[in-house]
Structure 1
Amino acid sequence: MVVKYLPRILDDDLEKCLTMIGAILIVGPKWCGKTTTAEQHANSVLKLQDKDNYKSNMMWADIEPSRLLKGDKPRLIDEWQVAPVLWDSVRTSVDESEDYGLYILTGSTVVDEDSIMHSGTGRIHRMLMRPMSLYESGESNGQISIMDLFNNPDININECESDLTIDDLIFAACRGGWPDSLNQKTREGKLFVAYNYLENICNTDVSAVDGVKRDPDRVRLLLRSLARNNSTLAKDQTIIDDMNANFMDISRPTYYSYVDALKRLFVIEDNRGWSPNIKSKSAIRSGNKKVFIDPSIAVAALNANPESMINDLNTFGFIFENLCIRDLSIYTNSHGGKVSYYHDKSGLEIDCVVHLRDGRYALIECKLGNDGIEEGSQNLLKINGLIEKNDKLDNPTFLAVLTGGKYAYTRPDGVKVFPIGCLR
C-alpha cells in the first residue's frame, strides 16, 4: 500500500535550517513521523535499527564510525542514539567539511550526555517534532493563523467558521496526531494506534530507555494518575499517594525515576508557570504542570474512548486543554514558541501564555463550550489590567479564548474568540 505523505509544519523549518547549519537533530516521541519527514529531505538513509544490517552497523560504529557517514548529503541517520559514538563523528565531519546541510539525525529518546564527548553546539541544531496538529491532519481548516494574529492583532476573524462538530473534536483527540492512525481504514483501527503506543511504552520502552527494569503495571498506574490530573497543578505527592493506593512501596526516588524515563521518551513534558512581575495581591504559583505530548495518550491511559468522553465532558475539558497546548506549540514552533500558564493563589488563572522568541506573547484561555467564554474573557481582562499597571512589562499582543465551538469573532472588549478547528 502506497501511503501519501502529509506535509508537516516542520518541513519548512527543516529545509531552512539545512541551509544554515551542518546537521539537524529531530527528536520527539516514537511514531510521530520523524523518519518519514526526514526522508523527504535526505539524499541517503542509514537506519541503524534495520534488522538485516544491525550487527554490521554496530561493528562499524565500534571500529570505524565515519564509514557509516558515507553517502549522498544530506544523509539521514535514523535512531542515531543506538550508536551514540556517531554524534561525535557527525560533529567532527561538520567541522572538517565546513559545509551546511550534511546530516539529519532522528531520535526517540533523550540520550545520556555522558555517552558523547561534545555538545554539538554550533554544529548540530535540535528540533522537537510532535504528533500531528489538527491542521496537519486535515481536520482544522486553517482559516486563522496564530502568527497572523501576532503580526496583525486587528485582523478580522468574524467570518471564520470551524467544520468540526464536538463529536469530531473528541474523536480527533482520542485518536491523536499519530500519522499511522490516519492510514487506518476503520474507526477501531484509528483509535487502536494510541492504545498500542501506550502498551509499547509500558512494556518495553520505559525500561529500554536507560536499561533500568521498570514494572509495566506501575508505569500504567503512573500514566493513569497523570491523566487524571492532566493539565492541573497536582503535586508530586498527590500522584505518589494515588499510586500507593495500589502499590504500597512507591518511594519518591522510584517515582522520579519513572517520570524521568517518560520525559526522556517524550511521553510527558513540563508546562512551566509564568511569573511576571505584576502587582498581584496573591502569590503566583510557578510549579510545573505535567502534560502529555499528545492528548490521546491520556485518553488511552484512562482506558477511555470517544463515547466515554462524550459522557464526561468535564474530563474531556482537560483533554481539550492538552490538545490546545499541543497545537499552539506546533503552530508557533518556527518562531521559538513556548507555552506556559499563569495561576495565582486567588484562583485567577490563564491556561496558555504563548511566548515567541522575539519577546511577544499572547494570553489564551481554552474553553471547550460557549458557557466558559465569558469566564475566560474576564480572566484575560483581569490579568491584562494588572500588566498594564506595570511600566516594565510589555502588554500581550492579543487576548483570546480558544474553543471547541463553531464561530470566530472579536468581542466588544477586544478579546478574540476562535475555534481550534479554524487554527493553524
Structure 2
Amino acid sequence: MAGYIRRVVDDELDEVLPQLPAVMLDGPKGVGKTETALRRAQSVWRLDDPAQLQIIQADPTIVTKDPPPILIDEWQLFPAVWDVVKRAVDADAAPGTFVLTGSAASRTTTHSGAARIVTARMRPMTLPERSDYEPTVSLAELLTGTRGPVTGTTSLSMSNYTHEIIWSGFPGLREHSGRALRTQLDGYLDRIIDRDVGEVGHRIRSPSKLRAWFTAYAAAAAEAVSYEKVRDAATHGHGEKPAKTTTSPYIDALTDLRILDPLPAWHPGSTHLHRLTQTPKHHLADPALAVRLLGLDAKALLAGDSGGVTLPRDGVLLGGFFESLGALSVRVFAQHSEATVSHLRTYGGEHEVDLIVETGGGDVVAIEVKLSTTVDDSDVRHLNWLEEQIGNRVLDKVVLNSGPQAYRRADGVAVVPLALLGA
C-alpha cells in the first residue's frame, strides 16, 4: 500500500495476530485504523458502505465465510456482528481470523468479548511517526531501570512544536495546511457533533450545548479540573447551571467516540502514599482538535492568547497542549511496552507528576512535561519527592521539554526533548 507509514501499533499487531483469533483496533475516527488493518486483511467488510451493511443485516454470519484474515470495518454500525465473531471464536476460529475496527463503544452491545476479542488502542501519530524525527531515547529502555546515558540533539523549536500541535496526528490531515487544514478539522468536529454521537446510540437534543462542553474540555487540556469547573466554563454567562444528570450524556458521547481521552489518576496499590486525587486529567484525542475548537492559531498560542474563551485552568494553553502532545506519545510508547499511563496529584496540589508509566510489576517511570527549553531544580522537585516516597519502585525520572539536547542531570533526572522520545 503506497505511502503507508508504519506505526508503533503495527508491532503489536504483528505479535498478537498470529496467535489470537480476533483483534479489534479501537480509536477515534480518522486515526488510520482501516489502513493499518487492510495491510493484514484478505477479505473486507465495510459496514459504513450501505450496500455491504444491508447484506450483513440480512445474514450476519456471512462475515465468517470469507478467506481470513477477515476485516470488519466500523463494526459498531451493526453491533450484532460482534456476537457473530464471538461465537466463531468460541467455535475455535483459527488465529488471525478476524480484525475488527471501531471508532466508538457501542451502547447496544450486549455481550462482552473478554477473552475472545482482544483490543489494541490506536491513537493519532506520535512525533516519530509523523515525519523525519529520529528518536534517540527509548521509553522501553527507561523502563528497564538501568538509568543509562541519554543522548541526542534536535533542532525543533517552540514554533515547530506549536506547528505540530496544530497540524494534527491524524494521517489524512497531514497532507493539508492553512485554510484547507482548518476546513478539514472543522468538518471533522461538525461530523462528531451532528452525526457520530447519534450513530452510537446517544440522543443529544442540543448540538450547540454539546459543542460548548466539547470546547470547555478543549480549554481544560492537561488539567485535572473538577466537573464543576468544566461545567462553569461550558455554561459561562448562564445564570442557572444544569444538573449533572443533564450533562453526563455529553461527556459519555465524546468519551464513547474516543474523542475525549482522559488520563486516569494513579492508584499506587500497596505503597504508603495517600491523599491522592482520583480526578482524571482531561485530554482530547488530538490537541489539534482542541486548538480548532477554541479558534486559535499558532500566533495566538505563542502569544498566550485564549481567544476570549473562559479557561477552567491555571496554566497557559500552549503548555497544556504541549503536555497533551507528550501524553499522546507516551501512551502509545507505553502500550508498546505493555505498561499503563496515569497521573499523580495530591489533594491541594502540593505534589503532582504529569505522567506515571507503570509496569505490570508496579514499578514506574515518572515523567514531567515542561514547555520550557531549560530545566531547573524546581522542575524536578516532584519527581525527586516521589522517589523519596517509594524508593526503588521509581525506575527512572524524566522531564520532557522543548530544549535542544538530551542529557542526565546530577540528580539522575533524564532531560529529554519530546522530539527525541520513542518507543
State the TM-score, normalizing by the size of structure 2: 0.91
| Residue 94 of structure 2, aligned match among 88, 94, 99 | 99
- Which residue in 1 is equivalent to 2:406? 408
Give yes or no for contact 2:212–2:235 (8 Å, CA) kept in 1. no
- Which residue in 1 is equivalent to 2:217? 226
- Which residue in 2 is equivalent to 1:391? none
- Which residue in 1 is equivalent to 2:419? 421
2:382 matched to 1:379? yes
Give yes or no for contact 2:155–2:404 (8 Å, CA) kept in 1. yes
CA distance in 2, matches of 1:297, 1:65: 36
Task: Answer with 369-378 or 200-209: which moved more.
Answer: 369-378
Quickly say closer, same or farther: Cα 1:139–1:199, change in 2 above 3 A.
farther
Give yes or no for contact 2:44–2:73 (8 Å, CA) kept in 1. yes
**SS of alignment partner, residue 146 of structure 2:** coil
CA distance in 1, matches of 2:68, 2:411: 54
Letter in 2 for 1:370: T
Instruction: Report the CA distance between 1:275 and its aligned residue.
Output: 4.2
**SS of alignment partner, residue 290 of structure 1:** coil
- Which residue in 1 is equivalent to 2:395? 397
- Equivalent positions of 1:210-289 (< 5 A) are 210-247=201-238, 248=240, 250-276=242-268, 283-289=275-281
Instruction: Report the CA distance between 1:53 and its aligned residue.
Output: 3.4
Give yes or no for contact 1:22–1:102 (8 Å, CA) kept in 2. yes
- Equivalent positions of 1:150-169 (< 5 A) are 150-151=143-144, 153-158=146-151, 160-169=152-161
Letter in 1 for 2:17: L
- Which residue in 1 is equivalent to 2:309? none
CA distance in 2, matches of 1:372, 1:192: 38
| Residue 85 of structure 2, aligned match among 77, 90, 96 | 90
- Which residue in 1 is equivalent to 2:56? 57
| 1:158-205 Cα shifts (integer Å, max 9, x gaps) | 3x0123221111111112110011233x44334443333222212222
| 1:230-250 Cα shifts (integer Å, max 9, x gaps) | 221211112222223245463
Quickly say closer, same or farther: Cα 1:86–1:212, change in 2 above 3 A.
same
Letter in 2 for 1:132: M
Instruction: Report the CA distance between 1:315 and its aligned residue.
Output: 1.2
2:34 matched to 1:42? no
| Contiguous gaps of at least 5 residues in structure 2 | 306-315
Instruction: Report the CA distance between 1:295 and its aligned residue.
Output: 1.1
- Which residue in 2 is equivalent to 1:348? 351
- Which residue in 1 is equivalent to 2:311? none
Give yes or no for contact 1:57–1:68 (8 Å, CA) kept in 2. yes
Give yes or no for contact 1:243–1:250 (8 Å, CA) kept in 2. no
| Residue 116 of structure 2, aligned match among 113, 119, 123 | 123
Give yes or no for contact 1:174–1:191 (8 Å, CA) kept in 2. no
Give yes or no for contact 1:206–1:214 (8 Å, CA) kept in 2. no
- Which residue in 2 is equivalent to 1:110? 105
**SS of alignment partner, residue 418 of structure 1:** strand
Give yes or no for contact 2:334–2:341 (8 Å, CA) kept in 1. no
2:195 matched to 1:196? no
Letter in 2 for 1:414: G
Quickly say closer, same or farther: Cα 1:139–1:161, change in 2 above 3 A.
same
| Residue 320 of structure 1, aligned match among 319, 322, 334 | 322
**SS of alignment partner, residue 268 of structure 1:** coil
Instruction: Report the CA distance between 1:140 and its aligned residue.
Output: 3.0
Task: Answer with 219-228 or 170-179: which moved more.
Answer: 219-228
**SS of alignment partner, residue 129 of structure 2:** coil
| Residue 300 of structure 2, aligned match among 303, 308, 313 | 308
Letter in 2 for 1:360: D
- Equivalent positions of 1:287-306 (< 5 A) are 287-306=279-298
Quickly say closer, same or farther: Cα 1:76–1:311, change in 2 above 3 A.
same
Identity of aligned residues (%): 27
Quickly say closer, same or farther: Cα 1:72–1:275, change in 2 above 3 A.
closer
Letter in 2 for 1:234: V
Give yes or no for contact 1:181–1:189 (8 Å, CA) kept in 2. no
**SS of alignment partner, residue 332 of structure 1:** helix
**SS of alignment partner, residue 137 of structure 2:** coil
| 1:88-138 Cα shifts (integer Å, max 9, x gaps) | 1112222224421100011111012x533x322222111111111111112
- Which residue in 2 is equivalent to 1:138? 131
Quickly say closer, same or farther: Cα 1:214–1:130, change in 2 above 3 A.
farther
Quickly say closer, same or farther: Cα 1:92–1:270, change in 2 above 3 A.
same
Instruction: Report the CA distance between 1:255 and its aligned residue.
Output: 1.3
| 1:211-269 Cα shifts (integer Å, max 9, x gaps) | 41342211221122112222212111122222232454632112111101100000112
CA distance in 2, matches of 1:155, 1:148: 9
**SS of alignment partner, residue 155 of structure 1:** coil
**How many residues in Structure 1 have an aligned counterpart in Structure 2?**
409
Give yes or no for contact 1:350–1:363 (8 Å, CA) kept in 2. yes
CA distance in 2, matches of 1:135, 1:161: 14
- Which residue in 2 is equivalent to 1:365? 368
Instruction: Report the CA distance between 1:69 and its aligned residue.
Output: 2.5
CA distance in 1, matches of 2:70, 2:201: 27
State the TM-score, normalizing by the size of structure 1: 0.91
CA distance in 1, matches of 2:175, 2:267: 42
**SS of alignment partner, residue 394 of structure 2:** coil
Letter in 2 for 1:338: T
**SS of alignment partner, residue 273 of structure 1:** coil
| 1:262-290 Cα shifts (integer Å, max 9, x gaps) | 0000011222222436556x832222222
